[in-house]
Amino acid sequence: MKILSLISASILCASVSVVTTADGHGKGYPFKNEIQARMNVMNLYGYYLGELGAMAKGQSPYDADAATRAANNLLAMAKLDNTTMWPQGSDNSVPALDNKTRAKPEAWTTYPEIVDKHKALITAATTMAAEAGNGLDAVRANIGAVGQSCKGCHEAFRGPKLKGHSH
Ligand code: HEC
C-alpha cells in the first residue's frame, strides 16, 4: 500500500530533514515543529476515536452520520503522509529532547516494525469507516481493533508520559 511508505520515506530521508531543520527552528528545541505536528496528528486520532468511543459506551447517542464522519476522519488522519514529521534524531533518548517527545529510539532502530504498526491502524480504521454507519453494534464490534492498533504501536514505540502534560 503506497500510503505505508510514508514512515519509511521519513526515515530514509532523515538526513535531508536534519539539514533542512537543524537551524530552521532555532527557538525552542530540535525538531520542535515536526514533533508538535506529529503530536497534533495523534491528538486528532484521539479526538475521532473519542467520538466513536463515546457512542460505543453510550455516553453520546449513536448517530449513523456522526459515526461515519468520525470514522472517515480518523481514516483520513491515518492516511496522512506525515513523512516529514519523523526525522531521525527526534527521539526521547536525545538529551536536548528530554521531556519534549515520547517517541522511543526503537521507532527508528527496529524499522520497519513501526510501518507494520501503522498499517494495522489503517486496516482497523478502514473497517471502522466501512462499518460505522451500520449501527451501534457495528461501532462496538470494531472499536476494539482500532484501539488495539493504537496500543500496539504505543507499547512498542512510545515512552513514558511527559512531565507536566496530561497525555
Ligand atoms: C505507528 C505508531 C502509532 C500508532 C498507530 C498510533 N500512535 Fe499515538 N503515538 C505514537 C508515538 C511514537 C507517540 C509519541 C510521539 C511524540 O511524543 O513525539 C504517540 C503519541 C500519542 C499521543 C500523545 C500526543 C501528545 O500530545 O503528546 C496520543 C493522544 C496518541 N498517540 C493517540 C493515538 C491514538 C488514539 C491512536 C490510534 C487511533 C494512535 N495514537 C496510534 C505512535 C503511534
- Give the residue extent of every domain in the chain: 2-12+30-82+96-157
Res 9 pLDDT > 50: no
Instruction: Concatenate the DSSP letters of all residues of 94-131 into one string.
Output: SGGGTTT--B-THHHHTTTHHHHHHHHHHHHHHHHHHH
> What is d(CA 40, CA 26) in angstroms, rounded to the nearest whole number?
20
Q: What is the DSSP letter of 85?
A: G
Res 25 pLDDT > 80: no
Instruction: Concatenate the DSSP letters of all residues of 134-158 into one string.
Output: G-HHHHHHHHHHHHHHHHHHHHHHB
pLDDT score for 27: 65
Per-residue confidence band for 8, with pLDDT thresholds at 50, 70 and 90 = low
Percent of the chain whose pLDDT exceeds 70: 83
Cell of 91: 527521539
> What is d(CA 124, CA 152) in angstroms, rounded to the nearest whole number?
12
Q: Check if CATH label 3.30.420.40 holds for domain 2-12+30-82+96-157.
A: no
Please give all residues whose beta carbon lies within 6 A of any atom in ligand 1, as ranges: 35, 38-39, 42-43, 45-46, 49, 101-103, 107, 114, 117-118, 121, 146, 149-150, 153-154, 157-158, 167
Per-residue pLDDT reduced to its tens digit, 37-75? 999 999 999 999 999 999 999 999 999 999 999 999 999
pLDDT, greater one: 49 or 22: 49
Left, alpha or beta for 99 (phi > 0: left; psi -120 to 50: alpha)?
left
Vertex 73 angle, CA 41 and 35, to 5°:
5
pLDDT score for 113: 97
Query: What does the longest C-alpha to C-alpha distance in the chain come to?
Result: 51
Res 11 pLDDT > 60: no
Per-residue pLDDT reduced to its tens digit, 88-110? 999 999 999 999 999 999 999 99
> What is d(CA 57, CA 85) in angstroms, rounded to the nearest whole number?
33
pLDDT score for 39: 98
> What is d(CA 62, CA 165) in angstroms, rounded to the nearest whole number?
31
Per-residue confidence band for 154, with pLDDT thresholds at 50, 70 and 90 = very high
Atom nearest to 114 CA in ligand 1: 1
CB 30 within 8 A of CB 22: yes
Mutate to test the pocket of ligand 1, among 80, 158, 162, 167 (most ligand atoms within 8 A of CB): 158
User: What phi, psi does 25 have (nearest 5°)?
Assistant: -120, 60
Per-residue confidence band for 17, with pLDDT thresholds at 50, 70 and 90 = very low
> What is d(CA 60, CA 157) in angstroms, rounded to the nearest whole number?
32
pLDDT, greater one: 62 or 24: 62
